[in-house]
Structure 1
């Protein structure tokens, strides 16, 4: 019979070919050691061929979600997929659920009848401290499952691999090979069938170098899937356990604290199963302490820390050090430049370490190419390793290097904000750091959360001298970008840091920055107080140029206060330059021109507030010419906006539209989102007055979107009020009502009764 071994060799003294060791086929030729040869083996086996192709471990009973992942794997596994790779790898960090997914996909495929020849499952134990399965041993196991007796297994790797592939090629039916927990491609390659009918699923914490495979990286569960998994774990253990269903938001918070990682979620579920009286909210409170979360995420059988240990311990010492020091960056992402600063390495070496950590899935890509992040729980693990393995001084030194690195690059960003004539012909150390203003702005946008986090951490760590200088530059950049809340926070840190190191010059400049930020956020009362402090402090420093700059800023703030709150009178008193302020040190003609442009800007604003619009326009055109002469694109933006305002009030609407459009173009070029929002609203007003409500709506929509993103509630409210009026003109009454209701809500919340009254009047005109 085909399913039994032939008679014992002792009775015949013969030899057997491949089919005579239990494989139902004719004689087989195999390639071994580079030559064709009949594999002849002695036999003496009378028992039936073992049934070892149904050894797939059971799938998890509590399995949920992963429909997209299963579909990707099914595309490779299903019959007739001849255009697909024969191997699918599932990679991801510890605890992501790679084995669980592979087993579910394998069971689904078997249940669908795709692999009538059975399944060969092998745990390669690639990350185990002991018992890693080498290819020779793995092949011996697979050959035994295929019915080859131990005495017939070739002694060498090539011989075993050739026999294994030949046996699979002889099989009439498709076979699925599941290779779990591989560390390297070298563990897997000898176990890959040569026949394209068969399929292979491989799981690994590393991205394996298997060029012919479909590589699939597994992500975390969704919030809904993680909560469902928690519920399944509890109800599987105790069918009446409805704590997850009753927990409400606490269940989602528990899943979030587990990082939506299936392994961590399973541990949390096990903790709840083991203590049936524990409310979900209580476990949430326990895990909320991030310093103890890894310790708490453990049961007698499972531990998240232990799972990550196995990956960490595989790292070479230099890469393990980089992994630890990445946790010294309190920001959410890192780059090779950041890692180099933290670890005091050259950028090429840092990039190599990051690539290795990425392939080990201890970090993951984040946004633009070359930027990486930790998973939340792996960050906690890295922070724990950092505390335990790096003394205080090396940790502190890493933070100081990172602060200095960011300070240097923030200063390089500001090189592109300077008037071009101030930079031309100068061999500034930072001029070539970024090739263009666009590159500088893109860097700043990507690094913004890291910059704020590092400055805050460095301040709390006592690095006040470094923080003061970095925070002043960062605060202005955040203002320009429109991140006002962070700008105020950073400017306040700069002031306090300067006071800590008793540096009056830095304190005065930090106060000037803070006053400017208050002016930008329309908190004119605080702006006035802080700018007066700046004048007082700077008056004692010997920097008359800084004193005059603060004086101009205070004058501009007072004019702005009247512009935005027209029911108040402008301040009559001019800001005084302290008598004891010394004469300025020699400067350049460009710096003098910048100061003159600021004075002209204030003059134009004063004329505008007085209703002298044509004179204000002339002053603004003088400002525009001056800004173009010194190469200040931001100054051009301001001047063009002001010229548009003057034309608008003079009812020269075509000229207003032209100026506003040019101002918006400049705002986008310099990355001033708030300037773009304000001028887009003004352009909407111009089109509305021009009888083009359709174009007005488009620009109001853009302005409202920007104000909302910038969290400028007043700007959003005023734009929505204007948008409501334009929509009424287009007979879009329902949308108009929604906009006006939102405008009233926002304005009431800011105690702006006059502005709210206008929106209410428009609502009343709409009727019911």
Structure 2
């Protein structure tokens, strides 16, 4: 039983009832709540409260003020099972806590479990527990609370977090994960150069990665830092470790225990090349380009990367300049180039959050989604570590402000970070040392040269007056000049003076008010738009509703309600007019945000809302039907707890096989994510929920559990808005699976329990049975094995009633695995399914592989190494066919156990077969 309350102090101080955040009032009231929570149920006297809240500046009526605060907090927190949540006790107050209500208490439980696992030599369990503990820190502890008491407690909580992080890194080293933590250790050492324990772990990780010289160099760096700043020598631990590295002590090389799952090494990847294509014709900006190209060759004054900040108004050519700059120097950066659009001024959505940008870069650098650390601090540390030792270009396009940008400014002296922004970002220049390159409007000579390169000398010489007029009308804005050049190139039968007349007569010039240079392009947009065919012009207007970031023929056809052949022709016409840009992949288009905003503004009329609503519905219908088709191929045997949403008559994608379905979903991944949010916020909650469900299949295949939680939270809110209990249960069930795989087993347990209750209330027995399996998984991960067995058995009983042998068999496998961990593997032996060489449906392949993996676990628990290895190999081979991430893990397990078996006799070798 739970009273529905939860509290956090490891980040901002919050209180929630049934998942809804409560309003706690002033910072002082929050400080009082935090002080009581930090006592973890113990009473606190009025004097202690006064010292915590006011220090030496205690008000004269302190008892009355505290009483008022307590009264307000009691009202905010509500009833605690018949008694106030905050109680009077011993001349003060206390806040008795129930198990699992306070994040700090949950942290301590995980830390204690990790210590027990450490003593038992189970490094894998140590890692799991400490990751779960550290995931409870969303940021700065007690964020926003004033006063010296809060500062002291904040320092103590930070030390506790640092201690747990060090223990986690040591556990990763103990189980052979040095390749995964070496970059994070390097980044942490840079932040805490006097922490000798971190230095020791860094040296060990470098040594085990075969980087002995760097390990010795790390010792010298530590020695210099300690001597120069503190006037001391390295401690005994560091000195001893240096000696061991010098003599290549064989005990420094770790061999994972066969009782642990070995950590797979990072997969080497080729240098990434993500820059957009360079223009075949680049004109102007010669001085700026010389300045930019020579920037990274200048002597460095600090350890960080070279940062170039390209600023200027909308349409001035910042991205084109930055891409040209990056291509000009790419040979100096052998580790490649990474491009991230931060969408700071995107008219259709919110800017890319820094955390998402970090994940995009990490995945671009070869970190698989299932290997991303679950906690944002660890992700950022890995980001800094991976950039620290690489020579690459990071192009951060369209940054909005310093808050979005600053967490991304990482890398060593070998990195070049190029930033573009409409904002001046003076703080990035002053504080972060960025070199500003401001792009003004093109001079008359530069603008004329740009037109000459696009149109050729003959037309320029023939009509010099018209050229001057076009240059004047475009006001030096490269985007406007490009549109004019495209119009002139497409109509060679037009005189340039005719095109100048078109531009001059463009009536939509309201954007020019106030001297905004973008307004001078408005008449150019109008002229280019007016030259379109009627059908292409309609497609252009409706594309304003596309959530981005990639426009396809199918999407355009759905928005405009036209055949794909018509849509394809329209997109090509728009690209020829430079109202769209074709991406590297044929058939996909993007555009400048000014043009997207313009397209939305020119679609007028009293029926616009109805037309837009109908267009959105067609687009969401087409995307959802396509996503459903792909997900059905990726997972043909999945359970549909909620019937498919009826959609209109749309032409949807129909992937022919598993590889094609995976490729389509990966290609449309970002569009699907944007569509979930767009559907949720524009009046299509059913579409948002169903799109999230189809995305889950792909996210499960690639192991992107963090993203899955983000999407399913949107789905859960949509289900609540609709009042649909089964849809709420589905979102809770998906959240339970994602949190379980992220290692947040307490959150997984709560979500799975909610799903079970909701399915049960709706009479949805199949959903209840499956959710019981997830509830059992969470209990097993929390080592509540008796509870896990009860949940599994309840689920098996329901599946038996429903006649679902396959689902019942999968739960029996889980039950057998739990019983094997309790030392009773024989209580429920799993029955291996047949193992044919191929399967018609990939999902069947996955289930059979999963079964073999569990059978292997059961054999291992009974000490039958040979049988365990045989089952794991079969599982690994099947998973490899699906390119599933679990295949790598199983291969590493087989390698580790095989090596261990070669060093010691198999216990079964003394017995007959």
Task: Using structure 1 for the length normalisation, give the TM-score.
Answer: 0.48
Bigger radius of gyration? 1
Task: Using structure 2 for the length normalisation, give the TM-score.
Answer: 0.41
